[in-house]
C-alpha cells in the first residue's frame, strides 16, 4: 500500500487507508516508546514550528516527538520570524524550504497553511487553524480505537461550538466509518464545506452524519462523547454571549445518561470545568482525556515519519 502523503492540511485530503495507516504506525511507535526502544527514523531531519497561536500540547508534543525520532525541532514564534513583520508567506515558504525538512504551523487563517504548501517545496503540517485541527483528531481516533477496539460502526456525539475541532471530527469520523452527530446552538454550526465533505466521505464509508441543534438527539446511544471549549483563542470578547447560549450543550451527568453506559468522554484541552463539561464527567471514570493528550505525541510522530521519511516501510 502506498503511504504517500505530501502534507497534512486536512483529514479530508487523506484516504481512509492513509488515516488507518497513520493510526497503526502511531500504535507501533507508542509501543516502542513504552518499551524504551529507540526509533531514530528522522535522524538529521529538522522541523520548523511556526506558532502564531501559543500552545502547550502542540509545542511539547511536536518537539518531543522530533527528539524521540532522532531529529530536531525549531520553535518559531511570530516575534522570531519575519512572517510576523509583514514578509509574505510565499517568501517565507520558499526560504524555509531551503533550510529545513518540514514545517508545522499553528495559526489563525487556514489560508496561511494552504499558501505555505502551495509556495514551499517541503511538507506542511496543520498544527491548528481557525478552520481545522487534524492532528488532534488523529490522536482522538487513536484513543477511541485503544478503548473500543474499533472505529467503524461506533457513534460519536459532539456538543458545543461548531469550531475547528468539530470540523475535523466530522472529517475523521466520516472517513473511518464512524457515525457522528454534532449538536450546536443555532448560528454556531460547523463550516458548511466541512459538512459537505464529511457527508461525501460518509457515503463511501457507510457512516451517517447528523447536524442538529438538539443535544439530546445527538447524545442518544453515543459510544464516544466529545466537547471543546466554548470560547476559542481570539474569541474572548464573545465569552458572555456564548456562555448564555451554550448552557444546554454542557456535557454533564444528565446528558451522559443518554449515551451508552460504556461511553467514553474526550476533550482536546484546555478544559473549563463548569462550562462545556462538569468536573464529575471530565474527572470521572468515563473520561480518557489524558490518554487522548498523550496520543498527540504518538499520532503526530506517525505524521512526521510519513511526511519526512516517505521511504520508511515500518
Residue in 7, 145, 255, 296 annotated catalytic: 296
CB of 208 within 8 A of CB of 202?
yes
- Give φ, ψ of 148 to 5 degrees: -110, -15
- Could you confirm whether 133 is annotated as catalytic? yes
Q: Which set of grid coordinates corresponds to residue 151?
A: 472505529
Closest CA to 141 of 22, 221, 258: 22
Residue in 57, 59, 106, 267 annotated catalytic: 106
Helix (H, G, I), strand (E, B) or coil at 147: helix
Residue in 140, 161, 223, 228 annotated catalytic: 228
Burial of 37 (0-12, 13-18, 19+ CB in 10 A): exposed
- Could you confirm whether 190 is annotated as catalytic? no
**Measured between alpha carbons, how far is 51 from 80 in angstroms, rounded to an integer?**
10
Residue in 18, 101, 145, 268 annotated catalytic: 268
Integer angstrom CA distances of residue 150 from 23, 224, 256? 12, 12, 21
Q: Which residues 6+ apart lie within 8 Å of 275 measured at CB?
A: 229, 230, 243, 246, 250
- Could you confirm whether 145 is annotated as catalytic? no
Note the Cα 229 to chain centre separation in Å: 14
Residue in 7, 57, 110, 133 annotated catalytic: 133
- The label of the residue with cell 474527572 reads 283
DSSP string across 170-221: HHHHHHHT-EEEEE--TT----HHHHHHHHHHHHHHT--EEEES-HHHHHTT
Note the Cα 154 to chain centre separation in Å: 19
- Could you confirm whether 196 is annotated as catalytic? no
- Could you confirm whether 268 is annotated as catalytic? yes
- Could you confirm whether 37 is annotated as catalytic? no
Residue in 18, 68, 136, 142 annotated catalytic: 136
Catalogue the active-site residues. 106, 133, 136, 228, 268, 296
Amino acid at each position: 500500500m502506498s503511504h504517500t502523503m505530501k502534507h497534512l492540511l486536512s483529514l479530508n485530503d487523506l484516504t481512509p487507508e492513509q488515516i488507518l495507516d497513520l493510526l497503526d504506525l502511531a500504535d507501533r511507535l507508542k509501543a516502542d516508546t513504552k518499551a524504551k526502544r529507540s526509533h531514530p527514523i528522522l535522524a538529521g531531519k529538522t522541523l520548523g514550528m511556526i506558532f502564531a497561536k501559543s500552545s502547550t500540547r502542540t509545542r511539547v508534543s511536536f518537539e518531543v516527538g522530533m527528539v524521540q525520532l532522532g531529529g530536531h525541532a525549531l520553535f518559531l514564534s511570530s516575534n522570531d520570524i519575519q512572517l510576523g513583520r509583514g514578509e509574505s508567506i510565499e517568501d517565507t515558504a520558499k526560504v524555509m524550504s531551503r533550510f529545513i525538512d518540514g514545517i508545522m504551523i499553528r495559526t489563525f487563517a487556514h489560508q496561511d497553511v494552504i499558501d505555505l504548501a502551495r509556495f514551499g517545496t517541503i511538507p506542511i503540517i496543520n498544527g491548528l487553524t481557525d478552520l481545522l485541527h487534524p492532528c488532534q483528531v488523529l490522536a482522538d481516533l487513536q484513543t477511541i480505537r485503544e478503548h473500543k477496539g474499533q472505529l467503524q460502526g461506533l457513534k460519536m456525539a459532539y456538543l458545543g461550538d461548531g469550531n475547528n475541532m468539530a470540523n475535523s471530527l466530522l472529517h475523521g469520523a466520516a472517513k473511518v466509518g464512524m457515525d457522528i452527530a454534532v449538536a450546536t446552538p443555532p448560528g454556531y454550526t460547523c463550516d458548511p464545506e466541512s459538512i459537505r465533505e464529511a457527508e461525501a466521505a460518509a457515503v463511501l464509508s457507510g457512516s451517517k452524519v447528523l447536524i442538529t441543534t438538539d443535544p439530546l438527539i445527538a447524545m442518544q446511544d453515543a459510544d464516544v462523547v466529545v466537547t471543546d471549549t466554548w470560547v476559542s483563542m481570539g474569541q474572548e470578547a464573545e465569552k458572555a454571549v456564548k456562555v448564555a447560549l451554550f448552557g444546554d450543550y454542557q456535557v454533564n451527568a444528565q446528558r451522559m445518561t443518554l449515551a451508552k453506559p460504556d461511553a467514553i468522554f474526550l476533550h482536546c484541552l484546555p478544559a473549563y470545568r463548569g462550562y462545556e463539561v462538569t468536573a464529575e464527567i471530565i474527572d470521572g471514570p468515563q473520561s480518557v482525556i489524558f490518554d487522548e493528550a498523550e496520543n498527540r505525541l504518538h499520532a503526530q510522530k506517525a505524521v512526521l515519519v510519513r511526511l519526512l521519511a516517505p521511504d520508511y516501510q515500518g
